[in-house]
Amino acid sequence: MAISLYNTLTKSIDVFEPLNPPKVTLYACGPTVYDFTHIGHMRKYIGDDVLKRTLQYVGYNVEHVMNITDVGHLSGDTDETGEDKLEKGAKREGKTVWEIAQFYTDYFHTTMQAVNVLPPTYETKATDHIPEMIRLVETLITKRFAYETEEAIYFDISKDAEYGKLSRQHLDEKEIAVRDDVVIDPDKKNPADFSLWFKRVGKFADHAMYWTSPWGDGFPGWHIECSAMSMKYLGETIDIHTGGIDHIPVHHENEIAQSECATGHPFVRWWIHHDFLLVDGVKMSKSLQNFYTIDDIRSRDIDPLAVRLLFMQTSYRKPLNFTWESLLVAQQQLKKLQKFVAKTKNVTNTIGTISLKYKASFQKSLASDLNTAQVLATLWALIDDDSLSLEDRLATLFDIDTVLGLQLDAVAPFVISAEAQQLLDERNNARKEKDYIRSDELRVALEALGYEVLDSKDTTTLS
């Protein structure tokens, strides 16, 4: 099964071929752990997970690295301005930067587990890999791609003839320090030169996280972290690198430049980027009170896996508009799938044979740039196809779910508890006696136990 994937570098959908099959090296930009993981983050990591599961499904051995950015990601207009996001979070909450990093890393893990995202092979913290970053900066200085000022070490983009090849953006199109109150290092050679290492001087003189380096105490720039960690675990050239589309013009462009200039080899063969998530048609922000986390999902009694199902209804390369109404629809769809599995398990303990017809349709959709919307269409057709036995439908459903990750094989058989059965018997009697007030009370009681009450002319059943 050949898979075709859109490559941001080539701007085309190409048949994916790893460098050293059956191994696939995959680097995924991870979270900056200074605040809560939100639904926009969930979309990106669920998309990465579908990609990874697809590669595993077709037989590849995926070596997956994801970083945890716990230092060096600044909040300003350029990569050298603003406050370190970890320090900003620490001041906001009255904690140390280390406490902030650990708390939000744990929250990220909780969120990923809730939406059934498989863990990476290696989860790498930036603060655990400072020596690798320093060595990479030293290499760039030795090869004359970087230079030192009183404030920092910078990559000299004028030395890289291919700079801009990912975004196809010319340097004169970049807006550098567009605000009047933004102050940048006066000793930079080019406004777009980016920082590799910050010295603990000037505005960063009191930076809480710092390490000894050949250039004095300091801390790494954001971009150098990903290059150093991906090279350590995956080698100088990797098969796939993922991230959000907002990373294309700066972060990923800079990763390419510093990595390829340091090694002389291509850095990434396939760049895969996920589009934005909007909330009610606008950008998500705390000020608009549309910033939602896994806690918000659960507080509305919604299964987190409904979020996963909702996101797979739109291509990862298209913007997706989140609404609570659309999530409730996805919740009902998830319940339908779960009920199908539960009732089928109640009828039979046997798993049948995977349908070659539906397997072919499923694989064709996956192979077409991870067309999960079409995969879901195949799924709905499958469970309604009475020409297949329940056992065969169940086997095929579980096969598809190895990629969708909705945990359908974990659904228990449908069982009516003794308490529910007693209430059901009472309600059937109340309906026969036309005691509609009592009948309605019993409906409410059954629904409170989690059952769907289905009335026919003569009887009531539960689902």
- pLDDT digits 0-9 by tens, 117-170: 999 999 999 999 999 999 999 999 999 999 999 999 999 999 999 999 999 987
Residues 186 and 257 both lie in one domain: yes
282 three-state secondary structure: strand
Q: Domain tally for the chain? A: 3
Q: Among 258-272, 389-403, 424-438, where is mean pLDDT lowest?
A: 424-438
Tell me the average pLDDT of the chain: 93
Backbone angles phi, psi at 155, to 5 degrees: -85, 135
* pLDDT for res 454: 84
Helices 39-57 and 97-114: crossing angle, nearest 10°? 60
Peptide bond into 319 cis (omega under 30): no
Residues 376 and 287 both lie in one domain: yes
Backbone angles phi, psi at 410, to 5 degrees: -90, -5
Q: Which residues pair with 26 in a beta bridge?
A: 64, 240
* pLDDT for res 9: 97
- Residue 284 sits in a domain whose CATH number is 1.10.730
DSSP 322: E
Structure confidence at residue 179 as a pLDDT band (50, 70, 90): very low
Residues 324-335: tens digit of each pLDDT: 999 999 999 999
* pLDDT for res 174: 59
Structure confidence at residue 175 as a pLDDT band (50, 70, 90): low
Residues 402 and 426 both lie in one domain: no
Q: Which of 389, 410, 431 is a domain's end point? A: 410
First to last CA, the chain: 39
Residues 106 and 184 both lie in one domain: yes
Residues 237 and 286 both lie in one domain: no
**Does residue 105 carry a pLDDT above 60?**
yes
**Does residue 262 carry a pLDDT above 60?**
yes
**Does residue 191 carry a pLDDT above 80?**
yes
**Does residue 367 carry a pLDDT above 90?**
yes
Residues 295 and 147 both lie in one domain: no
* pLDDT for res 287: 73
CA distances from 163 to 155, 171, 235, 246, 440 (A): 11, 9, 21, 17, 69
Does the CA dihedral 80-242-240-67 come out positive or negative?
Answer: positive
Q: Among 240-244, 392-396, 426-430, where is mean pLDDT lowest?
A: 426-430
**Does residue 27 carry a pLDDT above 80?**
yes
Residues 47 and 82 both lie in one domain: yes
* pLDDT for res 393: 96
Residues 80 and 217 both lie in one domain: yes
Structure confidence at residue 385 as a pLDDT band (50, 70, 90): very high
Residues 402 and 429 both lie in one domain: no
Q: Among 2-6, 302-306, 347-351, 404-408, where is mean pLDDT lowest?
A: 347-351
Residues 395 and 304 both lie in one domain: yes
* pLDDT for res 452: 84
Q: Which of 245, 274, 303 is a domain's end point? A: 274
Q: What would you measure as the largest C-alpha separation in the chain, in angstroms?
A: 91
**Does residue 181 carry a pLDDT above 70?**
no
**Does residue 180 carry a pLDDT above 70?**
no
Residues 333 and 243 both lie in one domain: no
Residues 50-101: tens digit of each pLDDT: 999 999 999 999 999 999 999 989 887 566 678 899 999 999 999 999 999 9
- Residue 39 sits in a domain whose CATH number is 3.40.50.620
* pLDDT for res 186: 87
| β-pairing verdict for 61-68 and 218-220 | unpaired
Percentage with pLDDT > 90 across the chain: 81
Q: Which of 410, 426, 449 is a domain's end point? A: 410
Structural domain including 290 reads 279-410
* pLDDT for res 178: 39
Q: What is the mean predicted confidence (pLDDT) over 295-305?
A: 97
Q: What predicted TM-score, i.e. pTM, was given to this entire model?
A: 0.91
- The beta strand positions in 193-309, using DSSP E, are 194-199, 218-220, 238-244, 268-274, 277-279
Residues 359 and 306 both lie in one domain: yes
* pLDDT for res 182: 45
Q: Among 241-255, 284-298, 384-398, where is mean pLDDT lowest?
A: 284-298
